[in-house]
């Protein structure tokens, strides 16, 4: 009985307009609904330089963030190994002094919390997934997105350069409490803390264009996509942008949070 039913029935594709309209007509099987948003020009790299150096494709930039985050994460992992080596087997870590230990703790915490997680989740997954989540084909400002990544790349380079300056990197702890960070007894109180602050400023400046694009990505999103329709990852990115710009003003310019700024 069931075999006869399967042989006799035919399946025909119907458009949503026909179904919603209640009509009995059917649309051709190759029918394609009209686009909800207008077509936009997408960036396509044709060489190594145009695809990986001056690339404006959000997905490729997301991969670049992911690779750079993996590199910084490996450095932070090596620093944690050295710290545990000194704690578990002090005789094997005779090359590490107390100053070195404080510096490794500081750089490990700063790299893993600020540089690794920020690049991996915001830059990597954010560029790769959020346009897809809202139905956009790319970021709103592709060139600004590219500049944002390379500013972050420079910030990581400045951070790593502090390992090679006289006195080494700062050892004030990854929270960088003042005035301890600049006191003479603190390891890396000279060029180390200066390069750390420069790197943090570059990092925050590089993040802001990314968040700015998230604010305008709805202009390229699919029809009827609202904030509450997004997954929690996208919502948290917008929320983090609000808090990050306020903390940037407080930390570097001592601008208080007042109701007019919120």
- The model carries a pTM of 0.70
* pLDDT, position 71: 94
72 neighbors 124 (Cβ within 8 angstroms): no
Q: Phi/psi class of residue 12: alpha, beta or left (left: φ > 0; alpha: ψ in -120 to 50)?
A: beta
pLDDT tens digit string along 179-222?
888 888 888 888 888 899 899 889 888 877 766 666 666 656 66
CATH number of 55-261: 1.20.210.10
- Cβ neighbour number for residue 185 with a 10 Å cutoff: 8
150 neighbors 157 (Cβ within 8 angstroms): no
What confidence tier does 126 reach under pLDDT thresholds 50, 70, 90? confident
The candidate with the shortest Cα–Cα distance to 221, out of 127, 130, 125, 148, is 130
pLDDT tens digit string along 41-83?
555 667 777 778 888 888 888 899 999 999 999 999 999 999 9
* pLDDT, position 255: 46
221-252 b/e (C-beta count within 10 Å ≥ 16 → b): beeebeeeebeeebeebeebbeebeeebeeee
User: Is residue 5 over pLDDT 60?
Assistant: no
Domain boundaries defined on the chain: 55-261
84-109 b/e (C-beta count within 10 Å ≥ 16 → b): eebeeeeeebeebeeebbbbbbbbbb
Terminal Cα-to-Cα distance of the chain (whole angstroms): 69
Tell me whether residue 16 is exposed, middle or buried, using C-beta atoms within 10 angstroms of its C-beta: 0 to 12, 13 to 18, 19 or more. exposed
pLDDT tens digit string along 225-254?
666 666 666 666 666 666 665 555 555 555
């Amino acid at each position: 009985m069931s075999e006869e039913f399967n042989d006799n029935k035919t399946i025909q594709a119907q458009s949503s307009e026909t179904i919603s309209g209640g009509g009995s007509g059917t649309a051709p099987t190759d029918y394609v609904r009209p686009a909800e948003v207008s077509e936009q020009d997408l960036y396509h790299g044709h060489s190594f330089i145009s695809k990986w150096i001056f690339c404006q494709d959000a997905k490729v930039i997301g991969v670049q963030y992911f690779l750079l985050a993996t590199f910084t994460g490996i450095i932070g992992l090596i620093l944690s190994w050295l710290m545990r080596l000194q704690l578990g087997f002090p005789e094997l870590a005779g090359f590490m002094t107390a100053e070195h230990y404080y510096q490794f703790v500081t750089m490990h915490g700063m790299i893993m919390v600020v540089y690794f997680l920020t690049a991996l989740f915001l830059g990597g997954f954010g560029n790769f997934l959020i346009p897809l989540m809202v139905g956009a084909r790319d970021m709103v400002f592709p060139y600004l997105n590219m500049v944002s990544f390379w500013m972050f790349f420079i910030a990581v380079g400045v951070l790593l350069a502090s390992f090679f300056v006289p006195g080494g990197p700062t050892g004030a702890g990854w929270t960088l409490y003042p005035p301890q960070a600049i006191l003479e007894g603190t390891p890396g109180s000279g060029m180390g803390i200066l390069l750390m602050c420069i790197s943090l400023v570059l990092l925050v400046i590089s993040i802001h264009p990314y968040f700015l694009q998230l604010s305008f990505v709805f202009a390229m999103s699919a029809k009827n996509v609202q904030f509450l329709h997004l997954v929690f990852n996208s919502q948290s990115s917008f929320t983090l942008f609000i808090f990050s710009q306020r903390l940037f003003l407080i930390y570097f310019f001592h601008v208080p949070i007042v109701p007019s700024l919120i």
